[in-house]
Structure 1
Amino acid sequence: MTQNFLIYNTLSRQKELFKPLHAPNVGMYVCGPTVYGDPHLGHARPAITFDILFRYLKHQGYKVRYVRNITDVGHLEHDADEGDDKIEKKARLEQLEPMEIAQYYTNRYHDAMNALNVLPPSIEPHATGHIIEQEQLVQQILDNGYAYISNGSVYFDIEKYNKDHKYGILSGRNLTDMINNSRTLNGVGEKKNQVDFALWKKAQPEHIMRWPSPWSDGFPGWHCECTAMGRKYLGNHFDIHGGGMDLVFPHHECEIAQAVASQGDQMVHYWMHNNMITINGQKMGKSLGNFITLEQFFTGNHESLDQPYSPMTIRFFILSAHYRGTVDFSNDALHAAEKGYNRLMNGIHDLSRIPVSDQCDPETEKFVKALRQKCYDAMNDDLQTPLVISYLFEACHVINSLLDHKAKISAECLKELTETMNLFTFELLGLRSEKGDNNDAREEAYGKVVDMVLELRAKAKANKDWATSDQIRDELAANGFEVKDTKDGVTWKLNK
């Protein structure tokens, strides 16, 4: 088990050595989607980020309980307390039951995650399935004096809480400044302070989704669900809570306050947040109307796209940047990701074509023996996936040198190189080949024949027999095989 895994804790604002509270068990909670529309690129980034963390913790030998919720009630249109419920509003427009809307888009989300090769979580709780737990959380906060009832709704008393604890420790916001800014608004309605947030909302007569409670027929505030479900499945204290950086405030800040107000201490040890995907420097999201759905990426059916992009191209695009850095969408960036993904897949495919020697040359042996640890070191440094990819590209360069007979490798070293590349490419980065059905005998036969012919061509080039080398290339082209010599080696495809 790796002992030097560093992760960036948003709460402490620094990298910390990962020490599970109950090793080898690890509890991890990640905020999932609000299911009122098709999943978009903004949904893909947290899913892939925490999929990498899930894969890596399991690889290290931890037993991980990964909880990722589905928000299907209480996420309001305007802010955390006001406006229409997004799912209910869509249900009215389409004359469907809210749960029909939620189920339809939950299925769409799962389909997209499967296409991106995101592993399913251990548990996927729905907010509507945990109303009792959320009511219990609200009652605990009321009993401890950090909430108040107003016209059938229940609000968290942030000013009262801040006297005993401190509100704003995750986001670094100052409560006095927030209260002073809120006073510029005309009135606070049911609240003592504009900054107070809803724990329970009394439902208006037209509101469809409602449940009985000691305070009113209504529904829970958005922030309650993750605190209640996290504690139910992971206990009062668990290791990791994750999500997008846009959730730091107010959602996760409010979660911290709810946990401390109800149980007296912090619930989460490490807070982790991925950064945003932007378009022209602006966050991509439904509320801004600038999002592109994952299905549109896969089909190319959007005015901003100049071609379709495969699920693995999207995954590679996201992994090519560190999870805490911003990623700006552009067709050029996706073209580069497509090219990089194909280069890596071709390199792994070419491993089977490498001729084996009795021994390695010193440089190749040195590289191969160091590669695995270099990749581990990058993963152990707060999941530096771009660095891992750069090391795998270096391996592709070595593979091309071996194919061109510019270097030699032994069977033992080749086995180590193959295992390392497969481990980090497929198991840990979660990429997979998109070449199609691996059982297609015709394609497999083509591949073996072309590889054999290209091996003869590589030997001819090594012997400076340019005539034979060009003849082989031209004969393949005449039969529909396109062969390209690049700075990274030889690629080929069958033009069907």
Structure 2
Amino acid sequence: MNTGLQLYNTLTRKKELFEPLNAPHVGMYVCGPTVYSDVHLGNCRTFISFDLIFRYLKYSGYKVRYVRNITDAGHLEGDRDEGDDKFAKRAKLEQLEPMEIVQKYTLGFHDVLRMFNTLPPSIEPTATGHIIEQIEMIKEIMNNGYAYEANGTIYFDVEKYSKNYNYTILTNRNLEDMLANTRELGGQDEKRGRLDFALWIKAKPETLMRWASPWGEGFPGWHIECSAMSAKYLGAEFDIHGGGMDLAATHHTNEIAQSEACSHKQPAKYWMHTNMLTVNGTRMSKSAGNGFLPEQLFAGDHDLLEKGFSPMTVKFFMLQAHYRSTLDFSNEALDASEKGFKRLMNALSLLDKLSPAESSDFEIDPIIENCIKAMNDDFNSPVVIAELFEASRIINTVYDGKGKISIIELDKLKQLMQDFVYDIFGLKDEESSNVELNSVLDMVIDLRKTAKENKDYATSDKIRIGLQSMGIQLKDSKEGTTWNKA
């Protein structure tokens, strides 16, 4: 088992040696999507990042229970539980039942992540499937004195909680400043304190999604679902809690408060957050007009895109930046990633064509050690990619006959690429997976071979030039003719 793994812990704001609570078992909870609309790229980056973490933990020998929830109830317009239920609004807009909205966008979410070749989580619970657990947790919080009822709605008492616990431990914000920057309570406001938030919300007559509770019919607040589901599947204390950095200030802060108020234990030992996406230096958002969906990025169907980029190109682009760093989308950056990804895949396609020699000009162990060292350093995927390009250079050098590699080093090279490109990064060769394209090209190459044997060099050259114009480059060698994307 890998024991040198260092994680950046948002809770302590520093890198720490990863020590799971129940080694070799690891419990990881990641806040999943709210399925009332299409999944956006910010979500995709988060789930691609935690897929990388999930894969590497498994590679390192840990038995991982990865829980990623689906929010399908109780998500309101405001962070402080104000406004209309988004599922109800979408259901009325599309004239569908709320659970039809849930099904539609959950399936869409899964479809997008399959295109990015991410692994499914161990458990994917839904908020609506755990209403009982949420009610029981709210009852326990009330019994412990940290929540109160007001006309059928249950609020968490932040100021009372703050007397015994550090409410801002995750963000290190000043509580007095937060109070000063929060609006005054109106005369009709049911909450006792400005920072109080709803654990359970009384249903209005027009509310579509509602459940029975000890306090009357209603539905859960946004934050309580994650506290209840993480406790159910990972226990009151578990190893890793993750999500986008936009969740830290409110959602994750309130999760910690709820969990401690219920069990008197800090729920997660390590808190991890992915950074934001920008487009040409400006934060990606619908309001700025620079937010595009994954499908738009794949098809190039947006005014800011010059062309479409494949799912693996986009994934490779994301992995070229550390998960905690800002990731800036631009046509130039995506173009560069597309070329780099093709170069990597082209090198991989040559691996099985290499002939081992008695001796070797290359040692693969240092590359393997550098990759492991980089991943142990808070999953530093950009450094690993640089090492994989060095491995690609070795492959090309040997294939071109400008260097030799022994069978032992060749086996290490093959294992390195299998482990890091396919198993840990979850990348795949989109061209070689296209069986029809392969079959057609094999037939065309055979036709060209026949033309050359008949000394019909005009036809041979026409085939080669025609394929080159379509981005397919042929390479002749003693072993035969191979092709790759130019």
Q: How many Å apart are 1:317 and its aligned residue? A: 1.0
Q: 2:240 & 2:248 partners in 1: Cα distance? A: 14
8 Å CA contact 1:480–1:494 kept in 2: the answer is: no
Q: How many Å apart are 1:285 and its aligned residue? A: 4.2
Count of residue pairs the alignment pairs up: 471
Q: 2:268 & 2:158 partners in 1: Cα distance? A: 20
Alignment of 1:273-284 (within 5 A): 273-284=273-284
180-189 or 410-419, which moves further after superposition? 180-189
Alignment of 1:114-263 (within 5 A): 114-183=114-183, 189-263=189-263
Look up the SS of the partner of 2:227 in the other structure: helix
Runs ≥4 residues deviating over 6 A = 446-450
Q: 2:36 & 2:403 partners in 1: Cα distance? A: 55
Give the aligned partner of residue 5 of structure 2. Answer: 5
Look up the SS of the partner of 2:119 in the other structure: coil
Alignment of 1:23-172 (within 5 A): 23-172=23-172
8 Å CA contact 2:346–2:484 kept in 1: the answer is: no
Look up the SS of the partner of 2:298 in the other structure: helix
Give the aligned partner of residue 303 of structure 2. Answer: 303
Give the aligned partner of residue 456 of structure 1. Answer: none
Cα pair distance change 1:188/1:319, threshold 3 Å: farther
Give the aligned partner of residue 373 of structure 1. Answer: 369
Instruction: State whether structure 2 residue 396 is matched by structure 1 residue 400.
Output: yes
Counterpart of 1:345 in structure 2: which amino acid?
M
Cα pair distance change 1:418/1:271, threshold 3 Å: same
Q: 2:443 & 2:421 partners in 1: Cα distance? A: 25
Look up the SS of the partner of 1:243 in the other structure: strand
8 Å CA contact 2:242–2:272 kept in 1: the answer is: yes
Counterpart of 1:317 in structure 2: which amino acid?
F
Q: 1:178 & 1:188 partners in 2: Cα distance? A: 22
Look up the SS of the partner of 2:163 in the other structure: helix
173-182 or 22-31, which moves further after superposition? 173-182
Deviations along 1:248-291, one digit per CA (max 9) or x if unpaired, are 01000000000111111211111111111122444334576642
Counterpart of 1:218 in structure 2: which amino acid?
G
Q: How many Å apart are 1:181 and its aligned residue? A: 1.9
405-414 or 20-29, which moves further after superposition? 405-414
Deviations along 1:228-263, one digit per CA (max 9) or x if unpaired, are 000011111111110000000100000000011111
Q: 1:132 & 1:7 partners in 2: Cα distance? A: 34
> Which of 439, 442, 447 is the aligned partner of 2:439?
442
Give the aligned partner of residue 413 of structure 2. Answer: 417
8 Å CA contact 1:359–1:408 kept in 2: the answer is: yes
> Which of 373, 384, 389 is the aligned partner of 2:385?
389
Look up the SS of the partner of 1:423 in the other structure: helix
Counterpart of 1:67 in structure 2: which amino acid?
V
Q: 2:425 & 2:262 partners in 1: Cα distance? A: 38
Q: 2:144 & 2:81 partners in 1: Cα distance? A: 22
74-83 or 321-330, which moves further after superposition? 74-83
Look up the SS of the partner of 2:181 in the other structure: helix
Q: 1:288 & 1:135 partners in 2: Cα distance? A: 39
Q: 1:409 & 1:273 partners in 2: Cα distance? A: 42
8 Å CA contact 2:184–2:194 kept in 1: the answer is: no
Q: 1:210 & 1:494 partners in 2: Cα distance? A: 55
Identity of counterpart residues, as a percentage?
53
Give the aligned partner of residue 293 of structure 2. Answer: 293
8 Å CA contact 1:438–1:444 kept in 2: the answer is: no
Counterpart of 1:175 in structure 2: which amino acid?
L
Q: How many Å apart are 1:187 and its aligned residue? A: 5.4
- Taking structure 1 as the reference length, the TM-score comes to 0.89
Q: How many Å apart are 1:438 and its aligned residue? A: 6.1
Counterpart of 2:408 in structure 1: which amino acid?
E
Q: How many Å apart are 1:351 and its aligned residue? A: 1.6
351-360 or 266-275, which moves further after superposition? 351-360
274-283 or 134-143, which moves further after superposition? 274-283
Structure 2: 5+ residue stretches without partners? 450-457, 476-480
Cα pair distance change 1:439/1:267, threshold 3 Å: same
Q: 1:160 & 1:70 partners in 2: Cα distance? A: 30
Q: 1:131 & 1:285 partners in 2: Cα distance? A: 32
Look up the SS of the partner of 1:212 in the other structure: coil
8 Å CA contact 1:284–1:291 kept in 2: the answer is: yes
Q: 2:183 & 2:308 partners in 1: Cα distance? A: 49
Q: 1:425 & 1:384 partners in 2: Cα distance? A: 14
Q: How many Å apart are 1:300 and its aligned residue? A: 1.9
Q: 1:33 & 1:256 partners in 2: Cα distance? A: 19
8 Å CA contact 2:245–2:273 kept in 1: the answer is: yes
Q: How many Å apart are 1:220 and its aligned residue? A: 0.8
What root-mean-square deviation, in Å, do the aligned CA atoms of Structure 1 and Structure 2 show?
2.7
Counterpart of 1:442 in structure 2: which amino acid?
S
8 Å CA contact 2:72–2:102 kept in 1: the answer is: yes
Deviations along 1:115-148, one digit per CA (max 9) or x if unpaired, are 1001000110010111111111111111111111
228-237 or 171-180, which moves further after superposition? 171-180
Look up the SS of the partner of 1:79 in the other structure: coil
Q: 1:289 & 1:444 partners in 2: Cα distance? A: 41
Q: 2:259 & 2:201 partners in 1: Cα distance? A: 19
Look up the SS of the partner of 1:182 in the other structure: coil
